[in-house]
Structure 1
Amino acid sequence: MKYPLTPLALGVALLLSLPARAADIDWKKVDAALGKTAAVGGEVHRYGLPRSDLHVTLDGVSIKPALALGGWVAFAPMHGEAMLMGDLVLLETEITPVMTKLLESGLDITAIHNHILRAAPATFYMHVAGHGDPEKMAASIRSALSSASKTPFDSPATTAGPAPAIDLDTAKIDAVMGAKGTANGGVYQFGIPRREPATEGAMQVNAALGGANAINFQPTSNGKAAITGDFLVTGNEVNPLIRALRAGDIEVTAIHSHMLDENPRMFFIHFWADDDALKLAHGVRAALDKTAVAQR
């Protein structure tokens, strides 16, 4: 079992889906080890680990998992083995026991941080990485989360009827944002890439797994929405962006990094507001325009 690699090597390999021998991996066994079914994009197999067990509120808003509680792990095949990267949503009391279990299994921890403020209960986000047998790594993730957290692994009960409605004027939001959003679990989501993605080790960090600005709108009432997510920016863009957010009455809740050796150096800026959705879309777009995002 040989999980550990540097975060640099992990990020490059996973985000780029390096040429690999995917046929060497029995993905049904990985699914069984994790107790989940992957969403497959190219060579990457991604597993959602939403904290649907948690009832988190912030400023009177009941947060849907797709807004700010969507943990995940993903595997990219590489030379018959796999690279692992993920982001686990944890309560404060779960951080140390989950970390201990993961470290004992040979996996790496690359970051721990908050995304939002004042939430009850408070939630934190632990980034994990590894390299080796994907079935064994999947089993390690499930074992750590099952024994040291209440992260659910059972399939949610299916209910008849349509998906939760997005009670917002999404066409107008799209027009302001200059992009087309997608509905997911009652949340309207945008992934807006940078014009020139960062590189690590001369390799491009694309939008597939973390190389894009993530903007989420959850309807609250009467055309209002709670928004959160993160912007991906260079150091010289940090303060112009957060000034634009504050000018739009959008709260800045976290500034941190995920990668260690990228070029240019990148930072992730999280935010929160609950207000008129179109007003917030204009505020977010004004902030995006302070950065090197892809053209509308």
Structure 2
Amino acid sequence: MRNVLSALIGISACFMAVNGSTYAQDQGVDWGEVDGILGRKAAVAEDVHRYGFPRTDLTVTLDGVTIKPALALGGWVAFKRAHDGAMAMGDLVLLESEINPVMLKMIAGGLEITAIHNHLLRASPATFYMHVAGHGDPAKLATVLHDALAESKTPLQVTPSSNPPSAVDLDTAQLDQIIGAKGKTNGGVYQFNVPRRDPVSEGGMTLAPAGPMGVAIGINFQPTGDGKAAITGDFVLTGDEVNPVVAALRTHGIEVTALHSHMLDEQPRLFFMHFWANDDAIKLAKGLRAALDKTASTKN
């Protein structure tokens, strides 16, 4: 009995030491300092701090639709706590002329460029999306990101809006039912994040929660009048899902605008498919649901 008690005491001490270390690590990150460097407050979900960098300075049009930042111009960077401080992942919205100046600052600061590509076709002006990644002290990572974004015209200070939140003139309850998830209103856009059923990891770390870390299927509806909506976003797919989803989208009149990677060594290997349409919102939701049915995604 004495040996058993000694063993239990030892296990308990070890457990307390490990949790004390984790707690100390969590307490050691000054997220207020990171907020200050990036000029905005983070949206916090579990251990992820996500910062939005919408391109509110741009007026982008596509097929006669003026795109709201929340529809397709919402750059972001997320920090997830790690043993060496934090891992950072992000997707920055840039004009063509901004790509190389921003990239050079990222490289000089030790951050990785993991992808550069379009999301949309025919948009004016054309926008591009730079995916970045890094590990280390969150304040140092934030400083590199700030200095790199300063090479673009991305707004680096948040100006509080005096306008009331834009309403979404769509049957959101029916959209929720069709998509099989609960959407949310953001900047006049109705947004869905649909996680995959299986976990996704990068560098041996599980990317969770999936939405804030950019590995959930994103679907956005922007009302365009008379029950219509412009839709865009990205499907997060394994290789065997790509062509079934392409076929489902095209069958339902939804344009496939890009197919590419976002990360370098994720498990499982993933592809990101972007799409566009402007039509009856309910009709488009049914097309998106048909595409979702070709994926290993969750459904409420």
Give the TM-score of the pair, scaled to structure 1: 0.89
Q: What amino acid is the match of 2:237? A: V
Please say if 1:175 is aligned against 2:171: no
Identify if the C-alpha distance between structure 1 residues 203 and 131 changes in structure 2 by more than 3 Å, giving closer, same or farther.
closer
What RMSD in Å do the two structures reach over aligned CA positions? 1.6
Candidates 57, 60, 63, aligned match of 1:59 = 63
| Shift, 1:215, TM fit | 0.4
| Shift, 1:164, TM fit | 0.4
| Shift, 1:139, TM fit | 1.5
Separation in structure 2 between the aligned mates of residue 73 and residue 195 of structure 1, nearest angstrom: 24
| Shift, 1:264, TM fit | 2.9
Separation in structure 2 between the aligned mates of residue 104 and residue 265 of structure 1, nearest angstrom: 28
1:80-125 deviation digits (Å, cap 9, x = unpaired) = 6222111110000000010011111111111111111110000001
| Shift, 1:265, TM fit | 1.9
Please say if 1:145 is aligned against 2:140: no
Identity %: 64
| 2:167 counterpart residue number | 165
8 A contact 1:253–1:270 mirrored in 2: yes
Say which one has the larger Rg: 2
Identify if the C-alpha distance between structure 1 residues 229 and 25 changes in structure 2 by more than 3 Å, giving closer, same or farther.
same
| 1:289 counterpart residue number | 293
Question: Matched residue pairs, number?
Answer: 276
Separation in structure 1 between the aligned mates of residue 169 and residue 201 of structure 2, nearest angstrom: 38
Map of 1:38-117 to 2, 5 A cutoff? 38-79=42-83, 81-117=85-121
8 A contact 1:231–1:269 mirrored in 2: yes
| 2:159 counterpart residue number | 156
Q: What amino acid is the match of 1:176? A: I
Give the TM-score of the pair, scaled to structure 2: 0.88
Separation in structure 2 between the aligned mates of residue 122 and residue 285 of structure 1, nearest angstrom: 29
Separation in structure 1 between the aligned mates of residue 266 and residue 143 of structure 2, nearest angstrom: 30
Map of 1:1-296 to 2, 5 A cutoff? 21-79=25-83, 81-146=85-150, 148-160=151-163, 162-200=164-202, 204-206=206-208, 207-208=210-211, 209-296=213-300
* More displaced 10-residue stretch of structure 1: 266-275 or 77-86: 77-86
Separation in structure 1 between the aligned mates of residue 127 and residue 255 of structure 2, nearest angstrom: 17
| Shift, 1:203, TM fit | 5.0
Identify if the C-alpha distance between structure 1 residues 295 and 40 changes in structure 2 by more than 3 Å, giving closer, same or farther.
closer
1:239-275 deviation digits (Å, cap 9, x = unpaired) = 1110010000000000111233333321110000000
Q: What amino acid is the match of 2:156? A: F
8 A contact 2:181–2:299 mirrored in 1: no
| Shift, 1:24, TM fit | 0.7
The structure whose RCO (Cα within 8 Å, separation 6+) is larger is 1
| Shift, 1:73, TM fit | 1.0
Separation in structure 2 between the aligned mates of residue 133 and residue 198 of structure 1, nearest angstrom: 23
8 A contact 2:179–2:289 mirrored in 1: yes
Separation in structure 1 between the aligned mates of residue 240 and residue 117 of structure 2, nearest angstrom: 22
8 A contact 1:25–1:80 mirrored in 2: no
8 A contact 1:84–1:130 mirrored in 2: yes
Identify if the C-alpha distance between structure 1 residues 290 and 79 changes in structure 2 by more than 3 Å, giving closer, same or farther.
closer
| Shift, 1:157, TM fit | 3.8
